[in-house]
Chain A
Amino acid sequence: QEKVQQSPESLIVPEGAMSSLNCTFSNSASQSIWWYQQHPGKGPEALISIFSNGNKKEGRLTVYLNRASLHVSLHIRDSQPSDSAVYLCAVSKTNTNKVVFGTGTRLQVLP
């Protein structure tokens, strides 16, 4: 069973700062990794995904994947109070229908 751990559990940053979130997974065969954003009482929304080793940038978001160390990180540049939410890392193997979510990081961006 895939295990997905996230750190830190909670993160508080001032507006305009860089927010950095981490995720480690247990299975090197996991081929697809996503980051989701979840606001209180709502369903998660997909933000960005990565499948290949290296980095991917979309707007203020950058994600880095290192398969050798089973580690993926999400960096949010110029963090805004509206970015305050729980961020979830999710992993799965291609062509399976099992998507395993991490424990989540609660991000709070202070104005």
Chain B
Amino acid sequence: GAVVSQHPSRVICKSGTSVKIECRSLDFQATTMFWYRQFPKQSLMLMATSNEGSKATYEQGVEKDKFLINHASLTLSTLTVTSAHPEDSSFYICSAINRGTGELFFGEGSRLTVL
């Protein structure tokens, strides 16, 4: 079964609303989690690196005030898309590094559709 759980797997929302996506490591501690975005027929693009207990590091071109990341515990990171617009519709995927083994695991992804 999945070792990184992402929720919700699919969400449809109206333009202007905010959406929160959770990424949870199920049986390991993850000091570092990554958030990616993938548009159709495009590669995964790293949005930000989420570090437990500290501020996330955002990639160039990613607005930190629009994509709020919180990594309050060793097993949970959340991504909130604020004031969502149709162009934010995408597949959002998180990944987490097992603190003990260094292995990287992906969540199952969240498909966001903004109407």
A and B are interacting partners: no
Binding site for A on B (CB under 8 A): none
Binding site for B on A (CB under 8 A): none
